[in-house]
Amino acid sequence: MVNTILELIKSAANFFIDQGGILIRQTNELDGNPADSTSILLQLVRNAGGVIQQRKDETQSTDKLKEDIAEISILHLIKAAAILIRQRGDATAQLKELSEALAAITALNLNCKGIDDAEITGLAVVLKTNTTLTSLKLFDNNIGDAGMAALADALTTNATLTELDLDYNIISVAGVEVLAAALKVNATLTELDLSANSVGDAGIKALAGALKLNTRLTSLNLGQNNISATGMEVLAEVLKTNTTLTSLKLLDNNIGDAGIAALAEALQTNTTLTSLNLYGNKVSDAGIKAKFDIHLKIKANKKLAKCLIKAAQDNDLAAVKLYVNKGASVNYQDEDGNTALHHAAKHLNPAMIDYLYGLPQQSIHLKNKQGEVVDARLFKRGYDFGDRYVHFFRRPIRVEQIPKKHYEAYKPDVMICTV
């Protein structure tokens, strides 16, 4: 284990030596400022040092160390591409390398890396055609409206990204409006974190318009966005009819008594919101009473959703239909991240899968804690796997997991098969 880690550290060191020389040479050839490339390298080296310090214990996973080094190299490519685009107007080679690097991973953590609009634009270009990345974390960067516009453009064509964290950036109404337009057509994003930006009431109005059409987003974080009662009233109106969203965070805003009252009214008809965070919103005694009523309604919604999960676990289609008709959230996830659809797949119940998968409010890209996503299309091909225990879930697999005689006939591109 120690030797393996040392080899990885040595490879990382060689990477920085090689790439550092290339980047500085490219900058010098363009009569640019070497300080740009030097500052990038210093930041990358500091990041690498932190990774090595965290992983120096030989009991740590070498796979995790490989992931961290891959993220450092991706960050280098993003920043190098931005410099070359600014100075030369072209970074084709770097963007190609970035595309190849992203094709090898499913999750990318670029939190606290000082990424700005120019740098995120290069990543967004690659995201348009990427088919592997499902999670992108960009917490605490310098992404503004221009960067948000680039990401939104990518979301109109990207068909794999399900989680996007933009917490603590500098996105204002203009950026949110472009994002909202993208959410109207995006069919994969299930989790969106916009907390600690500058969404405001105007941004909420744009997002509310998107939520009228979007049937995939199940988790939305709008904390610390200076939302007042005006914005909350607009959002509450949408919640009266939205049946996809299960989690909403509105902490540290200014929605006040009027906003709380509007939310309480919306929850009289909404039966699918099962998690709501209103911490930090100041209200009067009357508002406190309304907040308590909201708490009881959320609790009732969650209980109804748990009944649906139990019916799916029991492989009881009649009970599943009963609870869905009562308004239970089909997107509620249990402690293992499984929805009713996941449990139906584990029971190999095509009728239940067809029913749940066909519901307009079903967010079909929800992952459980193992990263599994149900793919109902696999049930419709009619192949018989006999007594074998087959999970009809979509996630990266090894072909050798599937019996050869079945694989030759079936050739599934998206299936987990445990025999």
* 230 pLDDT higher than 80: yes
Task: Decide if 212 is inside a domain.
Answer: no
Give the up-direction half-sphere exposure of residue 58: CA atoms within 13 A in the CB hemisphere: 6
What tokens were used for 171?
A: 């996105």
Q: How many CA atoms lie within 13 A of 304 on its CB side?
A: 24
Domain boundary among 105, 126, 159: 105
Task: Please check the confidence at residue 54 and state whether its pLDDT lies above 60.
Answer: no
Boundary of a domain, candidates 105, 140, 170: 105
pLDDT at residue 141 tops 90: yes
Comparing 110 with 380, which gets the higher pLDDT? 110
* pLDDT on residue 411: 36
**Diameter over CA atoms, the chain:** 72
Does the residue 312 lie in any domain?
A: no
For residue range 280-309, list pLDDT tens digits in order.
Answer: 999 998 899 999 999 999 999 999 999 999
Last residue of a domain, one of 105, 124, 154: 105
In a domain, 352, yes or no: no
Provide the residue range defining the domain that includes 407. 375-419
pLDDT at 377: 58
Q: What percent of the chain has pLDDT over 70?
A: 74
Number of domains in the chain: 2
Of 23-27, 67-71, 191-195, 260-264, where does mean pLDDT reach its minimum?
23-27
R_g (Cα) of the chain, nearest Å: 24
**234 falls within a domain:** no
Highest-confidence segment of 58-72, 99-113, 143-157, 375-389: 143-157
Higher model confidence: residue 118 or residue 71? 118
Is 63 within the bounds of a domain? yes
| Span 393-417, pLDDT tens digits | 544 333 333 333 333 333 333 333 2
- Decide if 64 is inside a domain: yes
- Calculate mean pLDDT across residues 344-352: 88
The answer to whether the beta carbons of residues 47 and 69 sit under 8 Å apart is no
pLDDT confidence bin for 30, thresholds 50/70/90: very low
Domain assignment present for residue 76? The answer is: yes
Number of residues that this document lists for the chain: 419
298 close to 273: Cβ distance less than 8 angstroms: yes
Whether the pLDDT of residue 9 is over 70: the answer is: no
User: Is 271 inside a domain boundary?
Assistant: no
